[in-house]
Structure 1
Amino acid sequence: MGLLLLLAATAASGQEAPKPTVPSAPTAPPAGSDTARLVPQLTRSGVRFVFRERGTGPLARAGSRVAVRYTGFLPDGHIFDATVATGGPLRFRVGRGDVIPGWDELLLLVPAGSRVKAWIPAALAYGATGVPDPDDERRYLIPPNTELVFELEVLSVR
Protein backbone atom coordinates (compact mmCIF):
# COMPACT_ATOMS: atom_id res chain seq x y z
CA MET A 1 0.00 0.00 0.00
CA GLY A 2 1.55 3.32 -1.05
CA LEU A 3 1.73 6.52 0.98
CA LEU A 4 -0.89 8.09 -1.22
CA LEU A 5 -3.31 5.34 -0.25
CA LEU A 6 -2.39 5.64 3.39
CA LEU A 7 -2.97 9.39 3.26
CA ALA A 8 -6.36 8.75 1.67
CA ALA A 9 -7.21 6.34 4.50
CA THR A 10 -6.38 9.07 7.02
CA ALA A 11 -8.41 11.66 5.13
CA ALA A 12 -11.37 9.29 4.90
CA SER A 13 -11.40 9.01 8.68
CA GLY A 14 -12.37 12.68 8.91
CA GLN A 15 -9.16 13.52 10.73
CA GLU A 16 -7.60 16.68 9.33
CA ALA A 17 -3.87 16.44 8.71
CA PRO A 18 -1.82 19.02 10.65
CA LYS A 19 -0.48 21.91 8.61
CA PRO A 20 3.34 21.95 8.51
CA THR A 21 5.17 25.12 9.38
CA VAL A 22 7.55 26.73 6.96
CA PRO A 23 10.85 24.90 7.42
CA SER A 24 13.92 26.76 8.46
CA ALA A 25 16.99 26.46 6.27
CA PRO A 26 19.19 23.73 7.70
CA THR A 27 22.69 24.62 8.72
CA ALA A 28 25.36 22.25 7.50
CA PRO A 29 29.09 22.11 6.99
CA PRO A 30 30.42 23.06 3.54
CA ALA A 31 29.38 20.62 0.80
CA GLY A 32 32.94 19.32 0.39
CA SER A 33 33.25 18.43 4.07
CA ASP A 34 33.35 14.74 5.00
CA THR A 35 30.98 15.44 7.88
CA ALA A 36 28.45 17.42 5.79
CA ARG A 37 26.23 14.41 5.20
CA LEU A 38 26.34 13.19 8.81
CA VAL A 39 25.11 16.35 10.54
CA PRO A 40 21.54 15.86 11.80
CA GLN A 41 19.13 18.50 10.54
CA LEU A 42 15.93 19.60 12.29
CA THR A 43 13.03 21.53 10.80
CA ARG A 44 10.95 23.97 12.86
CA SER A 45 8.12 21.48 13.21
CA GLY A 46 10.38 18.64 14.31
CA VAL A 47 11.26 16.54 11.25
CA ARG A 48 14.78 15.19 11.79
CA PHE A 49 16.95 14.01 8.92
CA VAL A 50 20.50 13.06 8.02
CA PHE A 51 21.97 13.14 4.54
CA ARG A 52 23.36 9.76 3.54
CA GLU A 53 24.38 11.37 0.25
CA ARG A 54 23.80 15.01 -0.67
CA GLY A 55 22.59 15.45 -4.25
CA THR A 56 23.55 18.30 -6.53
CA GLY A 57 20.19 18.64 -8.31
CA PRO A 58 17.54 21.28 -7.82
CA LEU A 59 15.48 21.79 -4.67
CA ALA A 60 11.73 21.32 -4.88
CA ARG A 61 9.37 24.24 -4.37
CA ALA A 62 5.70 24.00 -3.51
CA GLY A 63 4.04 22.50 -6.58
CA SER A 64 7.20 20.85 -7.95
CA ARG A 65 6.85 17.32 -9.28
CA VAL A 66 9.14 14.86 -7.53
CA ALA A 67 9.96 11.18 -7.91
CA VAL A 68 11.04 9.42 -4.71
CA ARG A 69 12.12 5.90 -3.80
CA TYR A 70 11.58 5.05 -0.15
CA THR A 71 11.27 2.48 2.55
CA GLY A 72 9.09 3.31 5.57
CA PHE A 73 9.80 1.80 8.99
CA LEU A 74 7.96 1.72 12.28
CA PRO A 75 10.14 2.58 15.32
CA ASP A 76 10.75 -1.14 15.97
CA GLY A 77 12.29 -1.52 12.50
CA HIS A 78 9.28 -3.21 10.88
CA ILE A 79 8.86 -2.13 7.23
CA PHE A 80 5.31 -0.89 6.62
CA ASP A 81 5.72 0.35 3.04
CA ALA A 82 8.32 0.56 0.27
CA THR A 83 8.43 1.55 -3.38
CA VAL A 84 10.15 -1.77 -4.14
CA ALA A 85 6.79 -3.40 -3.39
CA THR A 86 4.93 -1.12 -5.81
CA GLY A 87 7.42 -1.53 -8.65
CA GLY A 88 8.60 2.03 -9.12
CA PRO A 89 9.14 5.42 -7.53
CA LEU A 90 6.34 7.42 -5.99
CA ARG A 91 5.58 10.54 -8.07
CA PHE A 92 3.65 13.50 -6.67
CA ARG A 93 3.60 17.28 -6.30
CA VAL A 94 5.23 18.70 -3.18
CA GLY A 95 3.16 20.91 -0.88
CA ARG A 96 -0.25 19.83 -2.14
CA GLY A 97 -1.13 17.33 0.58
CA ASP A 98 -0.57 14.30 -1.66
CA VAL A 99 1.64 12.75 1.03
CA ILE A 100 2.05 13.10 4.78
CA PRO A 101 2.84 16.65 5.95
CA GLY A 102 6.31 15.66 7.17
CA TRP A 103 7.28 14.69 3.62
CA ASP A 104 5.88 17.92 2.17
CA GLU A 105 8.11 19.82 4.59
CA LEU A 106 11.20 17.65 4.24
CA LEU A 107 11.29 17.50 0.46
CA LEU A 108 11.65 21.29 0.22
CA LEU A 109 15.07 20.88 1.87
CA VAL A 110 16.50 17.87 0.00
CA PRO A 111 18.02 18.40 -3.47
CA ALA A 112 17.48 15.89 -6.27
CA GLY A 113 20.02 13.09 -6.17
CA SER A 114 20.04 13.01 -2.35
CA ARG A 115 19.56 10.06 -0.06
CA VAL A 116 18.37 10.80 3.48
CA LYS A 117 17.20 9.03 6.60
CA ALA A 118 14.30 10.91 8.18
CA TRP A 119 12.30 10.70 11.40
CA ILE A 120 8.78 12.07 11.01
CA PRO A 121 6.89 12.93 14.22
CA ALA A 122 3.47 11.33 14.55
CA ALA A 123 1.74 14.72 14.25
CA LEU A 124 3.30 15.14 10.78
CA ALA A 125 2.46 11.57 9.76
CA TYR A 126 -0.82 9.86 10.75
CA GLY A 127 -1.25 11.36 14.22
CA ALA A 128 -3.73 10.03 16.75
CA THR A 129 -5.72 8.23 14.04
CA GLY A 130 -2.94 5.96 12.79
CA VAL A 131 -3.77 3.74 9.83
CA PRO A 132 -6.18 0.92 10.64
CA ASP A 133 -5.72 -2.45 8.96
CA PRO A 134 -8.52 -2.70 6.37
CA ASP A 135 -8.65 -6.49 6.88
CA ASP A 136 -8.90 -6.40 10.69
CA GLU A 137 -10.28 -3.29 12.37
CA ARG A 138 -8.78 -4.35 15.71
CA ARG A 139 -5.26 -3.91 14.29
CA TYR A 140 -3.28 -1.07 12.76
CA LEU A 141 -0.87 -0.90 9.84
CA ILE A 142 0.53 2.19 11.58
CA PRO A 143 -0.48 2.53 15.25
CA PRO A 144 -1.79 5.89 16.53
CA ASN A 145 0.83 8.43 17.65
CA THR A 146 3.71 6.64 15.93
CA GLU A 147 6.86 8.38 14.74
CA LEU A 148 7.90 7.03 11.33
CA VAL A 149 11.37 6.48 9.94
CA PHE A 150 12.11 6.68 6.22
CA GLU A 151 15.03 5.97 3.96
CA LEU A 152 14.38 8.30 1.00
CA GLU A 153 16.07 8.88 -2.33
CA VAL A 154 14.97 11.92 -4.33
CA LEU A 155 15.29 10.80 -7.92
CA SER A 156 14.06 13.92 -9.70
CA VAL A 157 12.57 17.37 -9.15
CA ARG A 158 10.70 19.16 -11.94
Structure 2
Amino acid sequence: MATRTSGEDWLRAWFLGLGLLALPVGSALAQAGPGATSPLPPLDTLQTPPQRTPNGVRYVFRARGTGPLPQAGQRVSARYTGFLPDGHIFDASEAQGGLLKFRVGRHEVIAGLDEVMLLLPVGSRVRVWIPAALGYAAKGVRHPDDDDRFLVPPGTPLVFELEIVGVR
Protein backbone atom coordinates (compact mmCIF):
# COMPACT_ATOMS: atom_id res chain seq x y z
CA MET A 1 0.00 0.00 0.00
CA ALA A 2 1.48 3.37 -0.98
CA THR A 3 1.66 6.09 1.63
CA ARG A 4 2.02 9.82 1.13
CA THR A 5 4.90 11.55 2.85
CA SER A 6 4.40 14.85 4.55
CA GLY A 7 6.28 17.98 3.55
CA GLU A 8 8.39 17.55 6.69
CA ASP A 9 9.33 13.98 5.71
CA TRP A 10 10.20 15.17 2.23
CA LEU A 11 12.43 17.93 3.63
CA ARG A 12 14.13 15.54 6.03
CA ALA A 13 15.05 13.30 3.09
CA TRP A 14 16.05 16.35 1.10
CA PHE A 15 18.47 17.52 3.78
CA LEU A 16 19.91 14.07 4.21
CA GLY A 17 21.41 14.25 0.77
CA LEU A 18 18.90 13.71 -1.98
CA GLY A 19 20.46 16.82 -3.47
CA LEU A 20 17.43 18.97 -4.22
CA LEU A 21 18.22 22.46 -3.03
CA ALA A 22 15.11 24.42 -3.93
CA LEU A 23 11.71 23.70 -2.52
CA PRO A 24 9.22 22.56 -5.14
CA VAL A 25 6.54 25.18 -5.66
CA GLY A 26 3.82 22.82 -4.46
CA SER A 27 5.53 21.74 -1.26
CA ALA A 28 4.02 22.60 2.10
CA LEU A 29 7.00 24.70 3.20
CA ALA A 30 7.21 26.56 -0.09
CA GLN A 31 3.57 27.49 0.34
CA ALA A 32 4.07 28.32 3.99
CA GLY A 33 6.87 30.75 3.13
CA PRO A 34 9.10 32.51 5.63
CA GLY A 35 8.79 31.27 9.17
CA ALA A 36 8.09 27.67 8.25
CA THR A 37 10.22 25.15 10.10
CA SER A 38 12.34 22.43 8.60
CA PRO A 39 14.49 19.82 10.29
CA LEU A 40 18.08 20.94 9.80
CA PRO A 41 20.31 17.97 10.61
CA PRO A 42 23.23 18.69 12.91
CA LEU A 43 26.63 19.47 11.45
CA ASP A 44 27.92 15.97 12.20
CA THR A 45 25.50 14.39 9.73
CA LEU A 46 27.53 15.86 6.87
CA GLN A 47 30.29 13.58 5.65
CA THR A 48 33.13 16.11 5.45
CA PRO A 49 34.08 18.88 7.84
CA PRO A 50 33.30 22.40 6.62
CA GLN A 51 35.90 24.64 5.06
CA ARG A 52 36.29 28.16 6.42
CA THR A 53 36.88 31.46 4.63
CA PRO A 54 39.21 34.08 6.17
CA ASN A 55 36.15 35.99 7.43
CA GLY A 56 34.56 32.96 9.11
CA VAL A 57 32.02 31.75 6.56
CA ARG A 58 31.89 27.95 6.76
CA TYR A 59 30.79 25.78 3.86
CA VAL A 60 30.68 22.13 2.92
CA PHE A 61 30.14 20.67 -0.54
CA ARG A 62 27.26 18.30 -0.97
CA ALA A 63 28.37 17.96 -4.59
CA ARG A 64 31.29 19.82 -6.14
CA GLY A 65 30.44 21.29 -9.52
CA THR A 66 32.68 20.97 -12.55
CA GLY A 67 31.87 24.35 -14.10
CA PRO A 68 33.88 27.56 -13.89
CA LEU A 69 34.44 29.55 -10.70
CA PRO A 70 32.60 32.88 -10.67
CA GLN A 71 34.82 35.94 -10.94
CA ALA A 72 34.14 39.30 -9.29
CA GLY A 73 31.65 41.25 -11.39
CA GLN A 74 30.15 38.22 -13.15
CA ARG A 75 26.46 37.43 -12.85
CA VAL A 76 25.69 34.27 -10.86
CA SER A 77 22.42 32.32 -10.87
CA ALA A 78 21.66 30.21 -7.81
CA ARG A 79 18.88 28.39 -6.02
CA TYR A 80 18.81 28.82 -2.27
CA THR A 81 16.90 28.30 0.92
CA GLY A 82 17.88 30.43 3.92
CA PHE A 83 17.39 29.17 7.48
CA LEU A 84 17.66 30.60 10.94
CA PRO A 85 19.74 28.50 13.36
CA ASP A 86 16.56 26.91 14.76
CA GLY A 87 15.56 25.62 11.31
CA HIS A 88 12.95 28.25 10.41
CA ILE A 89 13.04 29.21 6.74
CA PHE A 90 13.34 32.97 6.33
CA ASP A 91 13.68 33.07 2.53
CA ALA A 92 13.88 30.82 -0.52
CA SER A 93 14.55 31.50 -4.17
CA GLU A 94 11.44 29.53 -5.15
CA ALA A 95 9.32 31.91 -3.08
CA GLN A 96 10.99 34.83 -4.89
CA GLY A 97 10.22 33.52 -8.36
CA GLY A 98 12.97 30.99 -9.09
CA LEU A 99 16.65 31.81 -9.29
CA LEU A 100 18.62 34.42 -7.41
CA LYS A 101 20.68 36.40 -9.94
CA PHE A 102 23.33 38.88 -8.85
CA ARG A 103 26.78 40.19 -9.69
CA VAL A 104 29.44 38.72 -7.41
CA GLY A 105 31.49 41.20 -5.41
CA ARG A 106 29.14 44.14 -6.00
CA HIS A 107 27.40 44.05 -2.59
CA GLU A 108 24.09 43.02 -4.15
CA VAL A 109 23.68 40.25 -1.54
CA ILE A 110 24.84 39.85 2.05
CA ALA A 111 28.61 39.85 2.50
CA GLY A 112 28.82 36.16 3.46
CA LEU A 113 27.18 35.05 0.21
CA ASP A 114 29.34 37.43 -1.83
CA GLU A 115 32.46 35.94 -0.23
CA VAL A 116 31.62 32.25 -0.59
CA MET A 117 30.31 32.46 -4.18
CA LEU A 118 33.83 33.08 -5.47
CA LEU A 119 34.79 29.62 -4.14
CA LEU A 120 31.96 27.56 -5.66
CA PRO A 121 32.21 26.13 -9.18
CA VAL A 122 29.04 26.10 -11.26
CA GLY A 123 27.06 22.96 -10.53
CA SER A 124 28.05 22.90 -6.85
CA ARG A 125 25.56 22.18 -4.10
CA VAL A 126 26.66 23.41 -0.69
CA ARG A 127 25.57 24.16 2.84
CA VAL A 128 26.86 27.52 4.06
CA TRP A 129 26.98 28.94 7.61
CA ILE A 130 27.26 32.72 7.70
CA PRO A 131 28.17 34.62 10.88
CA ALA A 132 25.73 37.38 11.83
CA ALA A 133 28.29 40.09 11.05
CA LEU A 134 28.39 38.90 7.40
CA GLY A 135 24.62 38.49 7.21
CA TYR A 136 22.13 41.06 8.44
CA ALA A 137 24.27 41.98 11.49
CA ALA A 138 22.71 44.20 14.18
CA LYS A 139 20.04 45.45 11.76
CA GLY A 140 18.21 42.16 11.16
CA VAL A 141 15.31 41.96 8.71
CA ARG A 142 11.92 43.22 9.84
CA HIS A 143 8.75 41.36 8.97
CA PRO A 144 7.10 43.11 6.00
CA ASP A 145 3.66 43.09 7.64
CA ASP A 146 4.62 43.86 11.25
CA ASP A 147 7.39 46.29 12.23
CA ASP A 148 7.43 44.81 15.73
CA ARG A 149 8.60 41.39 14.43
CA PHE A 150 11.67 40.19 12.58
CA LEU A 151 12.08 37.62 9.81
CA VAL A 152 15.78 37.59 10.80
CA PRO A 153 16.40 38.92 14.31
CA PRO A 154 19.41 41.21 14.83
CA GLY A 155 22.66 39.33 15.48
CA THR A 156 21.46 36.05 13.96
CA PRO A 157 23.85 33.71 12.12
CA LEU A 158 22.37 32.16 8.97
CA VAL A 159 22.41 28.78 7.24
CA PHE A 160 21.92 28.42 3.48
CA GLU A 161 21.48 25.50 1.16
CA LEU A 162 22.76 26.66 -2.25
CA GLU A 163 23.00 25.31 -5.76
CA ILE A 164 25.12 27.31 -8.20
CA VAL A 165 23.27 27.08 -11.50
CA GLY A 166 25.23 29.35 -13.84
CA VAL A 167 27.70 32.19 -14.30
CA ARG A 168 28.11 34.69 -17.12
TM-score of the superposed pair, with normalisation by structure 2? 0.70
From 50, 65, 68, the counterpart of 2:75: 65
From 159, 162, 166, the counterpart of 1:152: 162
Q: Distance in 2 between matches of 1:108 and 1:76?
A: 27
> Is the 1:39–1:51 Cα contact (8 Å) retained in structure 2?
no
CA-CA distance at 1:88 after TM superposition: 1.2
Q: Distance in 1 between matches of 2:114 and 2:59?
A: 14
Q: Distance in 1 between matches of 2:130 and 2:51?
A: 12
Aligned residues: 122
Q: Distance in 2 between matches of 1:120 and 1:50?
A: 12
- Counterpart AA for 2:58: R
CA-CA distance at 1:86 after TM superposition: 2.2
For residues 1-158 of structure 1, what are the structure 2 equivalents within 5 Å? Answer: 38-158=48-168
> Is the 1:67–1:155 Cα contact (8 Å) retained in structure 2?
yes
Q: Distance in 2 between matches of 1:83 and 1:138?
A: 25
Higher RCO (CA < 8 A, seq sep 6+): 1
CA-CA distance at 1:137 after TM superposition: 1.4
2:16 match: none
- Counterpart AA for 1:51: F
Q: Tell me, what secondary structure is at the counterpart of 2:56?
A: coil
> Which blocks of at least 5 consecutive residues in structure 2 are unaligned?
1-46
1:75-110 CA-partner distances (Å, limit 9, x unpaired) = 000001111112311111000010000011000000
The 4+ residue runs of structure 1 with deviation greater than 4 A are none
2:43 match: none
- Overall identity of the aligned pairs, in %: 66
Please tell me the root mean square deviation across aligned C-alpha atoms, in Å: 1.0
